């Protein structure tokens, strides 16, 4: 079989990794050698599992550092079981898969509002938020890099800073008014990263596991990829925070710390592939090809 | 329903396009106003239809200007019916869908070789090959733009120049040796564009229609997304050049000319979205978000 080297959320290269030089470690080697302290365990209060079927689990981490009100709203909705029985309503090829309360009529738990103020960007970057730049040119932002594992564009070190629409990132749909979103409908990016959406809509998190289920759904035939009939929709059996799951059934999910030396080495190995298959390592990488690896403990 | 503005191969924006100013045309307006002379009809000798089912048609245009030997080989294989009965053997999430003769054992028509010399790039750019730059920064190439509708990275105006691995682009799988590919196995990009593959493998064309069928297939469970068993493979019923189809059943497929003023206006409207939904037009676009629109006449 002819092959291409693989990439993916939890990609482990199974090819014989013949280095270009004896000292060049592959990205798989680097992950294998990384100490546990270089991995961040996700917060069970801000990470949830959405079950599409018994076997199809989508795991989403929220980003309270960037969208605190939306993250709190989604966590509260998940906790109350509000997403249970809703559905995926839209799959637009090379763009997004979208789910939630398409009609906007499902009653909300007490104390929650249907809309929230926009959280498109952080006007100022908190001093304690690390930023690890991805070296090279970014087409959309003056500076691009990672903060606590999140892909970020920013104007300068002072801000503004915003989450980037990379493959697998999750946002909150809105109508025309900036403050019209409220986490009743969410979407995940399933194609080439639509970075023109950055700063135009609230990005709330990332799909850490299960993107293959959101991305492989039949595309919708209606305008903008909406399913033409309710019968085509894909039901959401349930959504639960990790903190709601019994200890025995709770996955321990980790993301490589983007401020660790392992990530820096991994990034460099991705910029310049050491596998012998590559005849011309790119010497470059873009933000959305540098998303930190995820693992299940 | 909350929505996101759509993008896609043949995207026609169905939203009410309220301009930011009376003079700002949306990208949909620009396509609607474009004269026929701004569209290029694909060459029926270098474009083929791959049927997955009676209703699932994937239309692929080959790029002889960049990969002449591979394009000729694929056209000859298609013409002889060689791909009929082969299958999609690999679907790797956020990477590629791959099809062909996975075992490398199917006899070839007389006169064809199983492998071809690598066509990773054009060392020199022909003087008659137009190049329309995408303004802004490209993460991977010193210069990025379009030549006859193809996404291209290049070192300088003299070359080298190469086809870029954008969503929907098609390449020829190879083993470790650069000259080990031969069009027996092909792949299409189904995720965030893996531009690090540029100049490392021969890119042969683009899926103009039917990406939604290649991208929505179940991901393979085996290493690198290969299907674990032959039963999971997705059969290719047939592949035929447009020139082999009867006139009555032959689709007329057109790509917006990237050296036309309509494309230049469309690109500018994509860089700075005029729809009222956008609160902050990006003022930027990357190569793979600027793929020229396709239409069926």
Q: Is residue A266 part of a domain?
A: no
Percentages helix, strand, coil for chain B (3-state, rounded to 5) are: 20, 25, 55
- Position A24 scores a pLDDT of 74
Domain that holds residue A231: 39-256
Closest to B294 measured CA to CA, from B4, B3, B5, B7: B7
- A92-to-A99, A195, A239, B163 alpha-carbon distances in Å: 12, 16, 23, 26
- Supply the pLDDT for residue B2: 55
Q: B59 has which bridge partners?
A: B49, B209
Contact A185 B103 (CB under 8 A): no
Q: What are phi and psi of A87, to 5 degrees?
A: -155, 160
Are B4 and A96 inside 8 Å of each other by CB? yes
* 3-state DSSP assignment of residue A90: strand
Peptide bond into A132 cis (omega under 30): no
Confirm or reject contact between B93 and chain A (CB < 8 A): yes
Question: Min CA distance, B82 vs chain A (Å)?
Answer: 17
Structure confidence at residue B215 (pLDDT): 98
Question: Could you tell me if residue A268 is inside a domain?
Answer: no
**Beta-sheet pairing, A253-256 with B47-51:** unpaired
Say yes or no for a CB contact (<8 Å) between A223 and B6.
Answer: yes
- When CB atoms are compared, the residue of B6, B192, B219 closest to A288 is B192
Kindly list the strands in the beta sheet with B132-133, ordered across the sheet, starting from the edge strand earlier in the chain: B132-133, B143-147, B150-154, B161-163
Say if B176 is an interface residue toward chain A (CB within 8 Å): yes
Residue A19 has pLDDT above 80, yes or no: no
- Residue B122 placed within a domain: yes
Answer whether B292's CB lies under 8 Å from B255's CB.
yes
CB pairs under 8 A between A and B: 219
A163 belongs to a structural domain: yes
Residue A18 lies in a domain: no
* Percent share of chain A, pLDDT over 90: 88
| CATH assignment of the domain containing B108 | 2.40.100.10
Minimal-distance CA residue of chain A relative to B284 = A140
Number of domains within chain B? 1
Give the residue with greater pLDDT, A128 vs A165: A165
Q: Are A168 and B14 an interchain contact pair (Cβ–Cβ within 8 Å)?
A: no
What is the model's pLDDT at position B9? 38
Q: Are the CB atoms for B146 and B134 separated by under 8 Å?
A: yes
B267 touches chain A (CB under 8 A): no
The reply to whether A54 falls in a domain is yes
Under-50 pLDDT residues of chain B: 1, 3, 5-22
Residues of chain B with C-beta less than 8 angstroms from the C-beta of A188: none
Alpha-helical regions (H) of chain A: 27-33, 68-79, 211-215, 261-271
pLDDT higher than threshold 80 for residue A93: yes
| DSSP string for B221-255 | SSGGGB-SSGGGSEE--EEEEGGGS-GGG---EEE
A196 contacts B285? CB cut-off 8 A: yes
**For B288, which DSSP code?**
G
- Measured between its terminal Cα atoms, the distance across chain A in Å is 31
DSSP state of A268: H
Q: Is the pLDDT of residue A42 over 90?
A: yes
> Could you count the other beta carbons within 10 Å of the beta carbon of residue A15?
16
When CB atoms are compared, the residue of A178, A185, A196 closest to B273 is A196
Closest CA–CA distance from residue A247 to any residue of chain B (Å): 28
Element (H, E) at A143: strand A143-147
Record: contact A173-B138, CB cut-off 8 A: no
Residue B48 counted as domain residue: yes
Place of tokens 């298609």: B78
- Rounded to the nearest integer, the mean pLDDT of chain A is 92
Residue among B261, B282, B255, B256 at smallest CA distance from B270 = B282
> Would the pTM count as exceeding 0.80?
yes
| Chain B stretch 110-149, residues whose beta carbon is closer than 8 A to a beta carbon of chain A | 120, 136-140
d(CA B62, CA B254): 14
Q: What is the pLDDT of residue A297?
A: 87
Q: Is A225 an 8 Å CB contact of chain B?
A: yes
In this structure, is residue B228 part of a structural domain? Answer: yes
- Of the pLDDT bands very low, low, confident and very high (cuts 50, 70, 90), residue A2 is low
């Amino acid at each position: 079989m002819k092959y291409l080297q693989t990439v993916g959320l939890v990609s482990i290269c199974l090819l014989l990794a013949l280095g270009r030089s004896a000292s060049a470690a592959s990205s798989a080697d680097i992950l294998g050698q990384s100490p546990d302290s270089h991995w961040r365990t996700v917060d069970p209060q801000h990470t949830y599992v959405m079950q599409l079927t018994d076997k199809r689990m989508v795991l989403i981490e929220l980003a309270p550092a960037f969208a605190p009100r939306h993250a709190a709203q989604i966590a509260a909705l998940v906790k109350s079981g509000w997403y249970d029985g809703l559905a995926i309503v839209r799959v637009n090829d090379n763009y997004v898969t979208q789910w939630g309360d398409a009609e906007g009529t499902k009653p909300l738990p007490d104390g929650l509002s249907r809309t929230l103020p926009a959280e498109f960007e952080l006007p100022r970057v908190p001093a304690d938020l690390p930023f690890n730049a991805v070296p090279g040119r970014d087409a959309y932002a003056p500076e691009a890099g990672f903060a606590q594992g999140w892909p970020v564009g920013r104007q300068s070190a002072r801000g503004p800073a915003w989450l980037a629409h990379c493959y697998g990132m999750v946002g909150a749909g809105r109508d025309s008014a900036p403050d019209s979103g409220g986490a009743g409908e969410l979407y995940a990016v399933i194609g080439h990263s639509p970075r023109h959406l950055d700063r135009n809509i609230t990005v709330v998190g990332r799909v850490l596991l299960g993107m293959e289920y959101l991305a492989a759904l039949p595309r919708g035939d209606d305008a903008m990829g909406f399913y033409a009939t309710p019968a085509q929709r894909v039901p959401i059996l349930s959504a639960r925070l990790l903190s709601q799951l019994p200890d025995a059934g709770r996955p321990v999910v980790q993301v490589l710390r983007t401020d660790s030396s392992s990530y820096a080495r991994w990034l460099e190995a991705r910029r310049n592939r050491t596998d012998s298959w590559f005849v011309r390592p790119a010497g470059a990488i873009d933000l959305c090809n540098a998303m930190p690896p995820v693992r299940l403990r």
